[in-house]
Amino acid sequence: MVMNFLKRFYVYILFVFLYAPIVVLMVLSFNNSRLRGSWDGFTLRWYIELFQDRQILTSLYYTIAVAVLSSAIATIIGTAAAIGIHNLHGFKKNLIMNVTYIPVLNPDIVTGVALMILFIFLRLRLGFLTMLLAHITFNIPYVILSVLPKLKQLNNNLYEAALDLGATPWYALQKVIIPQIMPGILTGFLFAFTLSIDDFVISFFTTGSGVSNLSITVFSMARRGVNPKINALSTLMFLTVLILLIIVNLRMSKDKNGKGGGNGKNKEISLGARDSSGGGGGLLRI
Amino acid sequence: MKKATLSPYILWSSLFIIVPLLLVVYYSVTIETPEGIELSLENFKKFFEPIYLKVLWRSIILALISTVICLILGYPAALILAGKSFKRSNTLIMLFMLPMWMNFLLRTYAWLTLLEKNGLVNMIFQAIGLQPLNILYTETAVILGMVYNFLPFMVLPIYSVVSKIDRSIIEAAEDLGANSLIVFLRIILPLSIPGVVSGITMVFMPAVTTFVISRLLGGGQFMLIGNLIEQQFLFVGDWGFGSAISVVMILVILVSIGFMSRFENEEQGGRLW
Amino acid sequence: MLVILAVVVAGFYVFRDNRETIYVFNWGDYIDESVISRFEKETGIKVVYDVFSTNEDMYVKIQAGGSSYDVAFPSDYMIKRMIDEDMLEKINFDNVPNYKYVDERFKDLDFDPNNEYSVPYFWGTVGILYNTAMVDEEVDSWDILWDKKYEKQILMLDSQRDSIGVALLKLGYSLNTKDIAQLEEAGELLKQQKPLVLAYVVDEVKDKMVAGEAALAVVWSGDAVQGMAENENLAYAIPKSGTNMWVDSMVIPKGAKNKEGAEKFINFMLSTEIAYLNTKHVMYSTPHTEAKKMLDEWILNNPAAYPSDEALENTETFQALGDVLREYDRIWTEVKAR
C-alpha cells in the first residue's frame, strides 16, 4: 500500500517536472506585464500581436510548406526505394541499408553542415529550396524503415499470382502490394511530417535568404530575451498537439486493431529506439 | 520493374548523403596554402590541442551526466508505468510523451524564463524562505535542459521492453519463492537491458551533439563540441577545422554505438531490425 | 492531405510572386519594421529581410556564397576588409540623392576614403551599461569589469572584436594593435575574467539589463539608450581611458542581383522621414542631419546617444587587421572554450 503510494507519488513528481515549464509559459502568455516577475492582469494582447507578426506568420507558412512537400516527396521516393531494397540480397542490400542509416545515425549538426557545404558547392542559393532538399533527405530513411517491415510481412505469392493472372508488374504493384503496405507508408509519412515540423538544426544550416522555419524564428527570438509572444505561441502549439493526440487516440481506440496501441508519437519513439540500437548492428554488418 | 523503383533513391542518396560526407572529409584533410590546396592533417592536429580536447571532454562528460540522471530518474518511472500501479498506463505514457511533441526550442526556452534571477523558480524559492538559486548560465542549467528534453527518450524504450515481459515468468518465480528483490534482479533487470541500452543511446547521442541547449541555457560560456562546429562554419568561416571536428564527432558517435550495440548483442543476441 | 497540398500550392502563389526583390541583411533589431512595408508599398519592390548578430557572422555568410544579398550593414573595419577583398560594389551616388543629408563628419572616413562603397546608417560608441541599484560606485574605468564584487553579474559582448577590444583598452593598448604579445595578454585577461562573467551575449543584453538580471554589461550605445528608456535605474558610461567609436554603413555586396533596387532602398533609408522613424525606434545615433533635428529633447541631451565632443576625443575606430584576424579567431575561441 505504502509502496504503491510512493510509486504514484514518484510518477506524479516527474509529471510536475515535465509539465511545470509548459504550464508556466501558458499562464504567462495571458499576463499583461512584459516582465515575468509580476502578474499584471489578464490579457489577450500577446495573441493579437502574435497574429500580426509578419516574421512568425511567414515562418509558420514555410514550416508547413516544407513539412508537407518534403514528407510527401520522401514518402514517394522512400516507398519506391523500400520495394526495391526488399528485392535485393546480400552485399547490395547491406550497402544500401547502411547508406540509409547514415542520416539517422549522423548527428544532425553534421548532416546540416555537410548539406550546407554541398549546396554552397553547387552554387545553390540557400533558402526554401535547399531547406526542402535537406528535409527530404533526412525524411526518406524513416519512410524506408517504416515500409520495409510491412514488405517483410507481405505474402509474395499474391504478387506472383497477380502476374500469372496477366497483370502487368505496374498494375500488380498498384493493386496488390501498395494496398497491403499502406499502413507502413502512412506511418512513414506521419513520421517524416513530424520530424520535418520539429527540425531545427538541419534547417538552421541549410536555409538562408530570409527564409526560416518556426524553430529558427523561436531561436532568434529567444536569443533576444524573454518575449511574451513566444509564450502565446507555445500555448497554441501545445493545445494543437493535445487536440491532435486526443483525436488520434480516439480513432485508435475505436478501430482497435491491437497492434502498436497508443498514439503516433509512441510509435515514433519506439521506432526511433529501434533505429539507434539496431542501426549500430546494421553498420557493423559491413 | 521492382528494381527500377530503387534508382531515384540511389541517385538521391548518392547526391545528398554520400557526396556531402565526402566533401566534409575532403575539407577536413586539406588546407589552403598560397600555392593551392594541399593534403594535410593540420586540422586534426589543431583539434588535439588541449583547449579543444577540453571541449570534447566537456561535451562527453555533460552528456554522460545527463544520461546517468535520465537513467536514474527514468528507469523507476518506466517500471512503475509498466507495472500494475496505474489502471490507465497507456494514457499515462501518452501524457509522458506529450511534452515531446512541443517544439524542442520552445521547451528549452521555457527553462530560460524559469531559471532567471528574477524568474519563477527563484520567486518560489524566496517565498518559501530558501536561498535563491542562480543556475541560469551554469553547467547545471545545461544539464537540466538536457535531462528535461531527453528524459522521455529514456523512459519509452525501457517501458516498451518491460511491459512486454511475460507476467507468467514473474508469477512462476514468485510461486517458487522468489521475493520481489530477486524477481527484479533475476528477471526484470536482465530483460530490461535492451531497453536501457536503447535509452542510453537515445539520450547520449543528442546530448553530446547539441549546440542549442548550451547556447541558450549556457550563455555562450560552455562551449560544447556542437558549438565549436557551429562557430567554425558560421562565425569563423574555417570549413577545414569545422569539418575535422565533424569527422571527430562522427567517430565519437560510431564508437559509442558500436560499444552499445555490442553490449546489447551479448546480452540479448537479437536485433530489432 | 490533398487539401493541405492545395493550400501549400496556393500559398506558393501568394508568397512567391514574381515581383522585383531585394535581399537585405541587417543587424537584429536595427530597423523600424514598418519601414520595410512602406518601402514595398512605395516602390513595388519586395524586401526579403534577414538578420545577423555580429560583423563576423555577416562576413562569413556573404563570403561563403550560400546567399547573395543586395544591401548589408557592416561596420567600419569590416567595410574596409570587404573593400580590400573586393567584396563590395561601388555605389552609384546619382541614385542616392538623399546622401546630401548625411553629416559631413561621417563622409570620407578612413575605411572608405573617397566614399565610394558605403553610406552611413548609424554610429555609436561602446561603453558600460550598469544598474545603479546594484552598482553604487562611479563607473569610469574598464577595470570594474574585472572586479570580483560583481561576480556573475557581468555581461560581455559575444563579439570577438569588441570583447578583445575591451581587454586591450583596459591594458592601455591600441584597439588596432597587431602585436601578438599584446593580443595574447588581452586574451589572458579575458580568460581571467571568465569566472566573473554571467554570459556572453549580443541580442539578449537589452532584455537582461532591463529586467535587472545583471549589474554591468558591455553594450553598444544604442542598446544602452533603449535600456535606459525602459528602466530608469540604468546608466551608461564611457570609460575615461577611451573606447571604440564605430559607424555602421549600408553597402552593396558583390554579386548583388538587384543593384538598382539596392540603391533605391539605400536612398529610401536616407529620406528624412524614414531616417527619423528608424532613429526613433532603434535609438542609435543618427548621422542624418535632418532626422536628428526632429528628435525629442531627452534623447538629444542623452550623452549616451549624442556624446559631447570631448567625450569622443579619446575614442578610436577599428581598423581592418588583415592576417592578425586569425589570431583574433583563435584567442576568442580559446576564451570561449575555456
Pairing of the two strands B36-39 and B30-33: antiparallel
Residue range C304-320, pLDDT digits in tens: 899 988 888 888 999 88
**Helix, strand, or coil here: A30?**
coil
> Measured in Å, how far apart are chain C's first and last C-alpha atoms?
51
The rounded distance, in Å, linking the Cα atoms of B172 and B165 is 13
Q: Say whether C200 and B51 touch across the interface (CB within 8 A).
A: no
Beta carbon pairs, B and C, within 8 Å: 57
| Cell numbers 546489447: residue | B264
Mean pLDDT value of segment B113-137: 85
Beta carbons of C161 and C318 less than 8 angstroms apart: yes
The β-bridge partners of C253 are C88
Mean pLDDT value of segment C77-86: 93
C33 in contact with chain A, both atoms CB, cutoff 8 A: yes
Q: Which of A21, A84, A109 sits opposite B5 (nearest CB)?
A: A84
Q: Say whether C67 and A220 touch across the interface (CB within 8 A).
A: no
- Mean pLDDT of chain B, nearest integer: 87
Per-position b or e across C278-298, b if 16+ CB within 10 A of its CB: bbebbbbbbbbbbbbebbeee
Mutation site, A223, A226, A227, A244, interface C, largest C CB count within 10 A: A223
pLDDT of residue B166: 85
Confidence check: pLDDT of A12 > 70: yes
Confidence of residue B61 (pLDDT cuts 50, 70, 90): very high
Pick from B229, B273, B266: which is nearest to B250 by CA?
A: B229
- Set of cell numbers at residue B193: 537491458
pLDDT of residue A284: 26
| Cell numbers 516507398: residue | A79
The rounded distance, in Å, linking the Cα atoms of A233 and A33 is 17
Beta carbons of B232 and B239 less than 8 angstroms apart: yes
B238 in contact with chain C, both atoms CB, cutoff 8 A: yes
Q: Say whether C199 and B137 touch across the interface (CB within 8 A).
A: yes
Q: Which of B80, B95, B148 sits opposite A10 (nearest CB)?
A: B80
Mutation site, C58, C60, C62, C150, interface B, largest B CB count within 10 A: C60
Confidence of residue B82 (pLDDT cuts 50, 70, 90): confident
The rounded distance, in Å, linking the Cα atoms of B5 and A85 is 9
Confidence check: pLDDT of B260 > 60: yes
Residue range C114-147, pLDDT digits in tens: 999 999 999 999 999 999 999 999 999 999 999 9
pLDDT of residue B102: 81
The rounded distance, in Å, linking the Cα atoms of C223 and C29 is 10
Give the contacts of B159 (CB within 8 A, at least 6 positions apart): B78, B81, B82, B93, B195
ipTM: 0.87
Confidence of residue C19 (pLDDT cuts 50, 70, 90): confident
- Set of cell numbers at residue B250: 562522427
Distance from CA of B261 to the nearest CA of C (A): 32
Give the contacts of B234 (CB within 8 A, at least 6 positions apart): C57, C60, C61
- Set of cell numbers at residue A190: 506521419
The rounded distance, in Å, linking the Cα atoms of C331 and C195 is 17
The rounded distance, in Å, linking the Cα atoms of B242 and B232 is 5
pLDDT of residue B264: 62
Q: CATH homologous superfamily for C17-123+247-309?
A: Periplasmic binding protein-like II (3.40.190.10)
B103 in contact with chain A, both atoms CB, cutoff 8 A: yes
Beta carbons of A100 and A145 less than 8 angstroms apart: yes
The rounded distance, in Å, linking the Cα atoms of A206 and A208 is 7
B2 in contact with chain A, both atoms CB, cutoff 8 A: yes
Give span(s): CATH 3.40.190.10, chain C.
17-123+247-309, 124-245+312-337
Q: Say whether B9 and A83 touch across the interface (CB within 8 A).
A: no
Can you list the domains of chain A with their CATH numbers? 55-225+256-284 (1.10.3720.10)
Residue range C48-60, pLDDT digits in tens: 888 888 898 899 9
A94 in contact with chain B, both atoms CB, cutoff 8 A: no
Beta carbons of A282 and B199 less than 8 angstroms apart: no
B86 in contact with chain A, both atoms CB, cutoff 8 A: yes
- Set of cell numbers at residue A189: 509519412
Confidence of residue B226 (pLDDT cuts 50, 70, 90): very high
Task: Say which residue, B173 or C6, is predicted with more confidence.
Answer: B173
Q: Which of C1, C11, C61 sits opposite A61 (nearest CB)?
A: C11
Task: Tell me the residues of chain B between 120 and 179 that have a Cβ less than 8 Å away from chain C.
Answer: 134, 137
Mean pLDDT value of segment C28-46: 92
Confidence of residue A257 (pLDDT cuts 50, 70, 90): very low
Confidence check: pLDDT of A17 > 80: yes
Pairing of the two strands C154-157 and C216-220: parallel
Beta carbon pairs, A and B, within 8 Å: 292
Confidence check: pLDDT of A283 > 60: no
CA diameter of chain B: 80
pLDDT of residue B124: 85
Percent of chain A with pLDDT over 70: 86
The rounded distance, in Å, linking the Cα atoms of C156 and B135 is 18
**Opening angle at CA A263, ends A261 and A269, nearest 5:** 100
Which residue of A lies nearest to B122 if distances are taken between CA atoms? A37
Give the contacts of C243 (CB within 8 A, at least 6 positions apart): C125, C126, C127, C169, C314, C315, C316
- Mean pLDDT of chain C, nearest integer: 90
Q: Say whether A224 and C29 touch across the interface (CB within 8 A).
A: yes
| Cell numbers 554589461: residue | C217
pLDDT of residue C39: 95
Q: Which of B148, B198, B258 sits opposite A284 (nearest CB)?
A: B258
A263 in contact with chain B, both atoms CB, cutoff 8 A: yes
Residue C49 identity (one-letter amino acid): Y
A220 CB neighbours in chain C (<8 A) are 28, 51, 203
Confidence check: pLDDT of C43 > 90: yes
The rounded distance, in Å, linking the Cα atoms of B109 and A232 is 13
Q: Say whether B55 and C211 touch across the interface (CB within 8 A).
A: no
The rounded distance, in Å, linking the Cα atoms of B261 and B127 is 48
Pick from A97, C248, A262: which is nearest to B271 by CA?
A: A97
For helices A54-86 and A178-198, the axis angle rounded to 10 degrees is 150
Q: 3-state DSSP: chain B helix, strand, coil percent, rounded to 5?
A: 75, 5, 20
Q: C127 — phi, psi (to 5°)? A: -155, -165
Confidence of residue C183 (pLDDT cuts 50, 70, 90): very high
Q: Which of C54, C60, C212 sits opposite B237 (nearest CB)?
A: C60
Of the ranges A91-95, A217-221, B90-94, B227-231, which one carries the lowest mean pLDDT score? B90-94
C-alpha atoms less than 13 angstroms from C-alpha of C63 in its C-beta half-sphere: 20
Q: What is C124-245+312-337's CATH number, 3.30.390.30, 3.30.950.10, 3.40.190.10, 2.60.40.650? A: 3.40.190.10
Which residue of B lies nearest to A208 if distances are taken between CA atoms? B234
The rounded distance, in Å, linking the Cα atoms of C108 and A254 is 76
* Residue B4 neighbours by CB distance under 10 Å: 11
Confidence check: pLDDT of C14 > 80: no
The rounded distance, in Å, linking the Cα atoms of C214 and B217 is 15
Of the ranges A246-255, B64-73, C278-287, which one carries the lowest mean pLDDT score? A246-255
Confidence of residue C6 (pLDDT cuts 50, 70, 90): low
The rounded distance, in Å, linking the Cα atoms of A125 and C214 is 41
Confidence of residue B229 (pLDDT cuts 50, 70, 90): very high
C15 in contact with chain A, both atoms CB, cutoff 8 A: yes
- Mean pLDDT of chain A, nearest integer: 82
pLDDT of residue C7: 61
The β-bridge partners of C218 are C128
B219 CB neighbours in chain C (<8 A) are 198-201
Q: Which fold has domain B50-268?
A: MetI-like fold (1.10.3720)
Distance from CA of C207 to the nearest CA of A (A): 5
Q: Say whether B137 and C61 touch across the interface (CB within 8 A).
A: no
The rounded distance, in Å, linking the Cα atoms of C49 and C25 is 6
Q: Say whether B211 and A109 touch across the interface (CB within 8 A).
A: yes
Mean pLDDT value of segment B158-173: 88
pLDDT of residue A37: 62
Percent of chain A with pLDDT over 90: 34
> Measured in Å, how far apart are chain B's first and last C-alpha atoms?
26
C60 CB neighbours in chain B (<8 A) are 233-237
Beta carbons of B130 and A3 less than 8 angstroms apart: no
- Set of cell numbers at residue C188: 589572458
Residue range A127-170, pLDDT digits in tens: 899 999 999 999 999 999 999 999 988 888 888 898 899 888 88
Distance from CA of B109 to the nearest CA of C (A): 13
B73 in contact with chain A, both atoms CB, cutoff 8 A: yes
The rounded distance, in Å, linking the Cα atoms of B177 and C251 is 83
Which residue of C lies nearest to B49 if distances are taken between CA atoms? C334
DSSP state of A38: S
Percent of chain C with pLDDT over 70: 95
Q: Say whether B105 and A219 touch across the interface (CB within 8 A).
A: yes
pLDDT of residue A255: 54
Confidence check: pLDDT of C222 > 60: yes
Q: Say whether B118 and C212 touch across the interface (CB within 8 A).
A: yes
- Set of cell numbers at residue A180: 497491403
pLDDT of residue B208: 93
State how far the alpha carbon of A5 is from the alpha carbons of B80, B85, B182, in Å.
11, 9, 22
The rounded distance, in Å, linking the Cα atoms of B67 and B54 is 20
Residue C184 identity (one-letter amino acid): E
C207 CB neighbours in chain A (<8 A) are 224-226
The rounded distance, in Å, linking the Cα atoms of C283 and C300 is 10
> Measured in Å, how far apart are chain A's first and last C-alpha atoms?
53
pLDDT of residue A253: 65
Instruction: Tell me the residue length of chain B.
Output: 273
The rounded distance, in Å, linking the Cα atoms of C282 and C284 is 6
User: What's the predicted TM-score (pTM) here?
Assistant: 0.87
Ordered by start, the domain boundaries in chain B are 1-40, 50-268
pLDDT of residue A206: 93
Mutation site, C3, C4, C58, C60, interface A, largest A CB count within 10 A: C4
The rounded distance, in Å, linking the Cα atoms of C100 and C270 is 9
DSSP state of B130: P
The rounded distance, in Å, linking the Cα atoms of C190 and C183 is 11
pLDDT of residue C10: 62
Pairing of the two strands C234-237 and C118-131: antiparallel
Mean pLDDT value of segment A67-77: 95
CB-neighbour burial class of residue C17 (10 A; exposed 0-12, middle 13-18, buried 19+): exposed
Confidence check: pLDDT of C266 > 90: yes
